Amino acid sequence: MDVSVFGDLLRPVIAEGDLDRDLVARFQAGERIAFDQIVRRHQKGVWRIIRRYLRDDADAADVTQLVFVRAFKALGGFRGAASVRSWLYRIAIHAALSWIRDHRREVATELDDSALVAQAVAPAEIDRGRDSLRLRAAVSELPPKQRLVLELRVFDDLSFKEVAELADCTENTAKVNFHYAVKRLREILGGALEA
Amino acid sequence: MAPSKHDPKLTDHDDALLAAYVDGVGELTPAERRAVEAQLPARGAEVDATRDLLAALRDLPGEGEEPRWTELAARISAAVGDRVPRPWWRRVLVPATAALALAACAAVYIHGRGGDAPSVPEAAPTAMNAPPHVADAAALNDTVWLDGQAVELGALDPSALADLEGDHGDDDVIAGALLPTPDLAWIDDLDAAGLAVADRWLVDRKGT
């Protein structure tokens, strides 16, 4: 088998993972500054995931801070079974869901407001903007598991292995869910994007 | 002929890997890749539509306004503090290991001392059976090893010492055959002529 074909595709993922593992090892050896580097590398991704759940920028920043505080306390016991990124994202998803549970009424109100704003802005947007709204609306109609897999893969650029770790399924199941998510989106959108 | 979607060799699982193939061929196993590639000629339109949809999704602008990352990182850094926390099992494991090591050292030390202490009642027979040695210099002042017995000099009867001094074993027998040792005083009374006679007698004696 000629694996060299995939070498270039896989190398960046492996190198990133090695860097994260090195930072974790340094942190576990007592080097506090290594944690700051982990924050700088992953805070954007963590914030984006949380923002998708919370729909509020400031709240997403607060929960992002909470996620890294939890990670700081737990990183000493990190064994490396999962990638650092998917480990952080798992904490982020749990923190976001906890926050929603604790602030359910507020979130419901804010979601209604944001929907109104989106509808109000849409007529003034160009076609591309309308396509964006349609796409996001279609994604929100997906079954939860398919939506999670699709978002982690497309918006967070995770490997199928990492997606599987976060979605609590096998890598094959993640691939299959991804396929059916795409297929379902095409059915929802019909020819909307091409129109 | 290209295999169709209903090719009996293809499973539902193979059929459902097309999007994963389009989005990340490097993440499929060789077997999965071969299975999907066998379907490609019949699924060209689906491949194109999938590719377009994924590109559109990735082109979506990010939701919300991103925070100032430097400020957020500084907030996080201030919130966690400067001290690197250790997990509970490391906090427990290190002191426990140290305590075990200390206990092991103590046990070895006590065992080493304990091995000497019970030998006190056995010390006498051991010393009696062992050959004399010079390690205990102080003991030599009071005790000597004589004929397989430890002899306390301080407690010894002077007459016993005289007996011991007279007992020279086989060496005395040999010496007695050469000279009459009890009568050695007469040598002091010899004059020059007597010494000459004695010398000749000794020479004659050696010659025989």
The per-residue pLDDT for A12 is: 53
Closest residue in B to A53 (Cα) is B63
| pLDDT single digits (tens) A53-84 | 999 999 999 999 999 999 999 998 888 888 99
Would you say the ipTM is above 0.90?
Answer: no
Q: Is B64 left (phi over 0), alpha (psi -120 to 50) or beta?
A: left
Q: Given the structure tokens 């903007």, which residue do they identify? A: A129
| pLDDT single digits (tens) A16-55 | 778 999 999 999 999 999 999 999 999 999 999 999 999 9
Give the distance from CA B205 to its chain's centroid.
Answer: 71
Would you say A54 and A103 are in contact if contact means Cβ atoms under 8 Å apart? no
Of residues B25, B53, B87, nearest to A182 (C-beta): B53
Instruction: Provide the whole-model pTM.
Output: 0.61
A interface test, pick of B10, B11, B27 with most A CB neighbours within 10 Å: B27
The per-residue pLDDT for A119 is: 46
Average pLDDT, integer, range A137-164: 94
Q: Provide, rounded to the nearest whole percent, the portion of chain A with pLDDT above 70.
A: 76
Banded model confidence at residue A175, pLDDT cuts 50, 70, 90:
very high
Of residues A32, A155, A179, nearest to B84 (C-beta): A32
* Structure-token pair, residue B155: 């407690």
CATH numeric code, A14-102: 1.10.1740.10
Quick check: B17 and A47 CB within 8 A? no
Quick check: A43 and B77 CB within 8 A? no
The per-residue pLDDT for A162 is: 93
Quick check: A51 and B56 CB within 8 A? no
Average pLDDT, integer, range A134-155: 93
The per-residue pLDDT for A193 is: 57
The per-residue pLDDT for A89 is: 95
Task: State how far the Cα of B162 lies from the Cα of A7, in Å rounded to an integer.
Answer: 102
Q: Which residues in B lie closer than 8 A to residue A193 (C-beta atoms)?
A: 52-53, 56
| Phi, psi dihedrals of residue A140, rounded to the nearest 5° | -70, -15
Instruction: State which residues of chain B have pLDDT below 70.
Output: 1-14, 87-91, 114-148, 151-184, 208
Task: State how far the Cα of B203 lies from the Cα of B198, in Å rounded to an integer.
Answer: 9
Task: State how far the Cα of B12 lies from the Cα of B6, in Å rounded to an integer.
Answer: 10
Quick check: A180 and B16 CB within 8 A? yes
Would you say A124 and A156 are in contact if contact means Cβ atoms under 8 Å apart? no
Q: Provide, rounded to the nearest whole percent, the portion of chain A with pLDDT above 90.
A: 64
The per-residue pLDDT for A18 is: 84
Quick check: A186 and B28 CB within 8 A? no
SS3 B10: coil
* Burial environment of residue A36 by CB neighbours within 10 A (0 to 12, 13 to 18, 19 or more): middle
Sign of torsion, CA A48 B72 A93 B64? negative
The per-residue pLDDT for A21 is: 92
CATH 1.10.10.10 residue ranges in chain A?
113-188
Asked if the model's pLDDT at residue A6 lies above 60, the reply is no
- Mean pLDDT rounded to a whole number for chain A: 83
CATH numeric code, A113-188: 1.10.10.10
B6 in contact with A at a CB cutoff of 8 Å?
no
The per-residue pLDDT for A160 is: 94
Q: A125 vs B144, which has greater pLDDT?
A: B144
The per-residue pLDDT for B145 is: 65
Would you say B162 and B150 are in contact if contact means Cβ atoms under 8 Å apart? no
CATH 1.10.1740.10 residue ranges in chain A?
14-102
Find the helix or strand (DSSP H, E) in which B144 lies. Answer: strand B143-146
B74 in contact with A at a CB cutoff of 8 Å?
no
What distance in Å separates residue B13's CA from the closest CA in chain A?
A: 7
